[in-house]
Chains A and B, each alone.
Chain A
């Protein structure tokens, strides 16, 4: 437990210290950050619940305004990215720094950190792209943060069937929908940017090892959290 042996292992404290949380500081810091992010989403989701229950009218029926099948596919994409994140984490724990490597006697090649993190990044970027397309289409149909735009397609539908389209509370619907999903999309974007940064500065130069894979584990925690938030958002915004 001298300084020399500790310097070899980056995942342990650099100096002798009292018993702490039992995890290295980057991980602890990410846990604390996620606690604060929980509070941030709690503020948004809590406001949504309060506004929806206290609203003067019924919310639009599920699927009336939003494209649920498209978002379901998108949700699946994000869940897949969480799986590939786990694969990336497992790969570096086993010391697999490579991209793909053939396995004798098996049809499929074995993926390493470089492969699985790239898959995660692509799935994440795909999720954001689909969300951008969804936003453009919604705004095109007349669904904006302020409600249904005057003279738009959705405004006409809402006039014809105010119950199904939640005409009286369209403003609240737009406000909460775009704010919550928008900030979730912002989180996914931040995650993809961080992973891209790590990919070029740490993963490609093979700086991670089974002894030190802090960046992968920490970004993994963040990624699973963002995924979890989406599952909640998908349920309460799209399905209910």
Chain B
């Protein structure tokens, strides 16, 4: 029984010898291989994560030390800083572009671009995506969108000044915002990104539906694949709405249309409805894949089957469905009909139910498990705890009466960062470490990884938890200089504390960057199954060859058979492992008449 634990599926995976050798350009740059595309997304979106982080540091400098010259600010042009001091116009641009980069070009491509591409075919036993060339186009369009967005820093008057949400009429009227080219570039970039996202998502959906290996039934799919699949459905339906809205905003700016300009009969509130009709499903695009991958990692780290697999699947579906009918909770204070606000309040509070199911299931999985605190597991536990705090503060704001004083304060900033940084980014640290061997054939350094986790966890909480307090104290979300108001002055020491913590948090990420880059070349060689996991991807060598399996593998069981008695002296039983009692799955009958 011990030897079979390392057996490969029938036919084995000895590299894809039947593929002709490819040039460097075809193999690594214009690649149609889903794994290479995932890695391309990884490098590009980590770069944009760094850009977004640098913008955040400047925001924190201004809030902690308003009126003091920004260190190194001398290199910025006079239109951004005056005597080294950040100008108000530049400050709002920092806030707007930090949000834009982090949401659209860092977290979303990290979760969906990287892991949907990399994991879906590997985990369902497919040879590649359904449409490899569309997949490649999706990456290049995403990069193009990122470059267009970056270019807006270098045009006259700089990037957008209306926040990442681009509320009209400020964003629709260049004479009000003072931004012309930057606003156009934002809209164009978003339209291109939407196209990229739709192309990616239709690939993921088609692949999951039509390309599962024999035996990989719907309820044998790992939760990561379930989450990425549902996320792709959200992406396909949500992004086009944002594209439509961005096109209308673009036309308002360049063609003189009046969609969002109340002075000419348009409706400013229409923009908010369109934006948040996209924006709330987007929130779940940013968290569901993280939840899915964390589920895989927690089951592995606990050496137990995931607690309540089916309820986890239906919770994902439930969250995704409810995500479509809650967008109004972003607009309680917009002047929207208050009765409608109550409806949105109820539907929003309902989301707490599937979210709580997931949190309790993660705890149930860990309960009395044979815990292995490897770096992915630590980060996954970080995800669960931070997401819980972020989810609970979400319930505060979902209640309309509580939202009235809290809206547009730093409390909201704390909430979004607890779910997006404490949630998604911790999950990403876990996922990057976990699937790093599959990507690069080496393991990231365990010691640095643990140090990075603990320091990040501490400084992260020191940065974002006090924001709840200053938010309740009334500090506005995008205010340029909090010290101009007497009632905010007593809170200024806390702002200074947050800023120092944020700088430390940023500095700690150097550990991660070092570990990531250093391990590419000097990391320990990864064994075939470094985490003793059950997933289909571990039946392949590290890194996996082009085309994945030479012969389509068979799947014999669900993904979470840890500590199963049949596994003998191993505590895991991979999906691809054929026991003497297992029968080969029968492939699907071909569709009748096509």
Contact = CB atoms under 8 A, between A and B. Distances in A.
Say whether A associates with B. yes
Interface of A: 1, 9, 11-26, 28-29, 32-33, 35-37, 39-44, 47, 50-51, 54-57, 144-147, 168-169, 171-172, 174-176, 178-179, 183
Interface stretch (B257-265, B296-304, B352-360): B257-265
Interface stretch (B61-69, B81-89, B199-207): B199-207
B588 interface: yes
A66 to B, nearest CB: 17
Given A19-B589, A20-B211, A169-B265, 13 more contacts: A1-B590, A15-B213, A17-B211, A17-B212, A18-B215, A24-B594, A26-B131, A29-B134, A33-B236, A47-B270, A47-B274, A145-B257, A179-B257
A143 to B, nearest CB: 13
Nearest to B552: A15
B21 interface: no
Contacts of B59: none
B264 A171 contact: yes
A55 to B, nearest CB: 5
Interface of B: 126-127, 130-131, 134, 198, 201-203, 205-207, 209-217, 236-241, 243-245, 247-248, 251-252, 255-259, 264-267, 270, 273-274, 552, 585, 587-591, 594
Nearest to A169: B265
A146 B236 contact: no
A168 B266 CA distance: 12
Contact of A43 (B207, B209, B244, B252): B244
Q: Which of B211, B247, B273, B594 is the most central at the interface, judged by chain A CB atoms within 10 Å of its CB?
A: B594
A21 B265 contact: no
Contacts of B237: 35-36, 39
Nearest to A172: B265
Given A29-B131, A47-B274, A146 B206 contact: no
Nearest to B239: A36
A32 B198 CA distance: 9
Contacts of A17: 210-214, 552, 587-588
Contacts of A25: 130-131, 206-207, 210-211
A56 B265 CA distance: 6
Nearest to A39: B240
Contacts of B258: 146-147, 171-172, 175
B217 A28 contact: no
B126 to A, nearest CB: 8
Nearest to A41: B244
A172 B588 contact: no
B259 A43 contact: no
A42 B552 CA distance: 41
Given A39-B238, A43-B274, A171-B258, A20 B588 contact: yes
B110 to A, nearest CB: 22
B256 A50 contact: no
A54 B267 contact: yes
A51 B266 contact: yes
Given A16-B214, A17-B211, A39-B237, A145 B206 contact: no
28 contacts: A1-B590, A15-B126, A15-B211, A16-B588, A17-B214, A25-B211, A28-B206, A28-B209, A28-B210, A32-B236, A33-B202, A36-B236, A40-B240, A44-B248, A47-B259, A54-B267, A57-B265, A145-B257, A146-B258, A147-B264, A171-B257, A171-B258, A172-B258, A172-B265, A175-B257, A175-B259, A176-B259, A179-B248
A18 B594 CA distance: 15
Contacts, number: 168
Given A29-B206, A47-B248, A175-B257, A39 B267 contact: no
A22 B240 CA distance: 27
Contacts of B589: 19
B203 A29 contact: yes
Contacts of B215: 18
A43 B267 contact: no
B588 A18 contact: yes
Nearest to B258: A171
B209 A51 contact: no
A14 B206 CA distance: 14
A47 B244 contact: yes
Contacts of B270: 47, 50-51
A176 B266 CA distance: 11
A40 B243 contact: yes
Nearest to A23: B591
A201 B101 CA distance: 41
Nearest to A175: B257
B239 A51 contact: no
A36 B131 CA distance: 17
A171 B259 CA distance: 9
A146 B274 contact: no
A47 B244 CA distance: 9
B323 to A, nearest CB: 14
Nearest to B198: A36
Contact of A20 (B198, B212, B248, B274): B212
B265 A32 contact: no
Nearest to A214: B594
Contacts of B198: 33, 36
A47 B243 CA distance: 13
A11 B594 contact: yes
Contacts of B240: 36-37, 39-40, 43
A42 B241 CA distance: 8
Contacts of A50: 267, 270, 273
6 A-B pairs closest in CB distance:
A43-B244, A146-B256, A175-B257, A16-B587, A20-B210, A40-B240
Contacts of B126: 15
Nearest to A21: B209
Contact of A18 (B216, B245, B255): B216
B173 to A, nearest CB: 13
A54 B335 CA distance: 15
A41 B247 CA distance: 12
Given A57-B265, A146-B258, A179 B251 contact: yes
Nearest to A56: B265
Contacts of B134: 29
B319 to A, nearest CB: 19
Contacts of B216: 18
A146 B239 CA distance: 27
B134 to A, nearest CB: 8
Contacts of A22: 591
Nearest to A176: B259
Contact of A23 (B205, B552, B594): B594
A42 B243 CA distance: 11
A169 to B, nearest CB: 5
A40 B241 contact: yes
A168 B257 CA distance: 14
